[in-house]
Structure 1
Protein backbone atom coordinates (compact mmCIF):
# COMPACT_ATOMS: atom_id res chain seq x y z
CA UNK A 1 0.00 0.00 0.00
CA UNK A 2 2.87 2.40 0.81
CA UNK A 3 4.45 1.74 -2.60
CA UNK A 4 1.16 2.42 -4.37
CA UNK A 5 0.75 5.71 -2.50
CA UNK A 6 4.29 6.70 -3.43
CA UNK A 7 3.65 5.89 -7.08
CA UNK A 8 0.41 7.86 -6.95
CA UNK A 9 2.24 10.91 -5.58
CA UNK A 10 4.89 10.65 -8.29
CA UNK A 11 2.18 10.36 -10.95
CA UNK A 12 0.38 13.42 -9.55
CA UNK A 13 3.61 15.42 -9.54
CA UNK A 14 4.33 14.37 -13.12
CA UNK A 15 0.80 15.29 -14.15
CA UNK A 16 1.22 18.73 -12.58
CA UNK A 17 4.44 19.23 -14.54
CA UNK A 18 2.67 18.23 -17.76
CA UNK A 19 -0.17 20.66 -17.05
CA UNK A 20 2.29 23.50 -16.46
CA UNK A 21 4.15 22.64 -19.66
CA UNK A 22 0.91 22.53 -21.64
CA UNK A 23 -0.17 25.93 -20.32
CA UNK A 24 3.23 27.43 -21.12
CA UNK A 25 3.07 25.98 -24.63
CA UNK A 26 -0.46 27.35 -25.10
CA UNK A 27 0.67 30.82 -24.01
CA UNK A 28 3.66 30.71 -26.36
CA UNK A 29 1.48 29.62 -29.28
CA UNK A 30 -0.91 32.47 -28.56
CA UNK A 31 1.96 34.96 -28.44
CA UNK A 32 3.34 33.64 -31.74
CA UNK A 33 -0.12 33.87 -33.30
CA UNK A 34 -0.52 37.49 -32.10
CA UNK A 35 2.86 38.43 -33.54
CA UNK A 36 2.08 36.66 -36.81
CA UNK A 37 -1.25 38.49 -37.16
CA UNK A 38 0.40 41.81 -36.35
CA UNK A 39 3.07 41.17 -38.98
CA UNK A 40 0.49 40.19 -41.61
CA UNK A 41 -1.64 43.26 -40.82
CA UNK A 42 1.42 45.48 -41.10
CA UNK A 43 2.38 43.91 -44.43
CA UNK A 44 -1.16 44.27 -45.80
CA UNK A 45 -1.30 47.89 -44.67
CA UNK A 46 1.98 48.62 -46.46
CA UNK A 47 0.72 46.85 -49.58
CA UNK A 48 -2.47 48.95 -49.58
CA UNK A 49 -0.49 52.16 -49.19
CA UNK A 50 1.84 51.15 -52.04
CA UNK A 51 -1.12 50.29 -54.28
CA UNK A 52 -2.71 53.64 -53.41
CA UNK A 53 0.49 55.51 -54.24
CA UNK A 54 0.96 53.72 -57.55
CA UNK A 55 -2.64 54.42 -58.60
CA UNK A 56 -2.17 58.11 -57.67
CA UNK A 57 0.92 58.24 -59.89
CA UNK A 58 -0.94 56.66 -62.81
CA UNK A 59 -3.61 59.37 -62.80
Structure 2
Protein backbone atom coordinates (compact mmCIF):
# COMPACT_ATOMS: atom_id res chain seq x y z
CA UNK A 1 0.00 0.00 0.00
CA UNK A 2 1.32 3.46 -0.87
CA UNK A 3 -0.08 6.48 0.97
CA UNK A 4 0.83 10.14 0.59
CA UNK A 5 1.43 11.80 3.98
CA UNK A 6 2.29 15.19 5.43
CA UNK A 7 4.77 15.65 8.28
CA UNK A 8 3.48 18.26 10.74
CA UNK A 9 4.50 19.01 14.33
CA UNK A 10 6.41 15.75 14.68
CA UNK A 11 3.62 13.55 13.31
CA UNK A 12 3.38 11.81 9.94
CA UNK A 13 -0.29 12.28 8.90
CA UNK A 14 -1.78 10.33 5.96
CA UNK A 15 -3.82 12.34 3.44
CA UNK A 16 -6.40 9.58 3.12
CA UNK A 17 -7.91 6.96 5.42
CA UNK A 18 -5.77 3.89 6.04
CA UNK A 19 -7.45 0.66 7.09
CA UNK A 20 -5.24 -0.60 9.92
CA UNK A 21 -5.99 -2.12 13.30
CA UNK A 22 -5.33 0.04 16.37
CA UNK A 23 -1.64 -0.11 17.37
CA UNK A 24 -0.76 -2.14 14.27
CA UNK A 25 2.90 -1.66 13.40
CA UNK A 26 4.00 -0.78 9.87
CA UNK A 27 7.26 0.03 8.10
CA UNK A 28 7.38 3.45 6.44
CA UNK A 29 9.65 4.33 3.50
CA UNK A 30 10.10 8.09 3.16
CA UNK A 31 10.57 9.54 -0.35
CA UNK A 32 10.51 13.18 -1.39
CA UNK A 33 7.93 14.29 -3.91
CA UNK A 34 8.99 14.97 -7.50
CA UNK A 35 8.27 18.65 -6.85
CA UNK A 36 10.94 18.81 -4.16
CA UNK A 37 13.44 16.95 -6.34
CA UNK A 38 12.96 19.27 -9.34
CA UNK A 39 12.29 22.60 -7.58
CA UNK A 40 14.39 25.39 -9.08
CA UNK A 41 15.58 23.45 -12.14
CA UNK A 42 13.95 25.90 -14.58
CA UNK A 43 14.68 29.16 -12.75
CA UNK A 44 16.87 30.52 -15.58
CA UNK A 45 14.29 29.80 -18.29
CA UNK A 46 11.38 31.87 -19.64
CA UNK A 47 8.45 30.21 -17.89
CA UNK A 48 5.87 31.70 -20.29
CA UNK A 49 7.72 30.16 -23.24
CA UNK A 50 7.86 26.79 -21.50
CA UNK A 51 4.11 26.88 -20.78
CA UNK A 52 3.39 27.88 -24.39
CA UNK A 53 5.48 24.95 -25.69
CA UNK A 54 3.76 22.47 -23.39
CA UNK A 55 0.27 23.70 -24.31
CA UNK A 56 1.02 23.64 -28.05
CA UNK A 57 2.54 20.17 -27.91
CA UNK A 58 5.57 21.46 -29.82
CA UNK A 59 8.80 21.44 -27.83
CA UNK A 60 11.39 23.75 -29.38
Range class of TM-score, shorter chain: under 0.3
Which structure has more RCO (C-alpha within 8 Å, separation ≥ 6)? 2
* Structure of greater Rg: 1
- TM-score, reference length from structure 1: 0.25
Higher helix proportion (structure 1 or 2): 1
* Greater share of residues in strand: 2
Give TM-score scaled by structure 2 length: 0.25
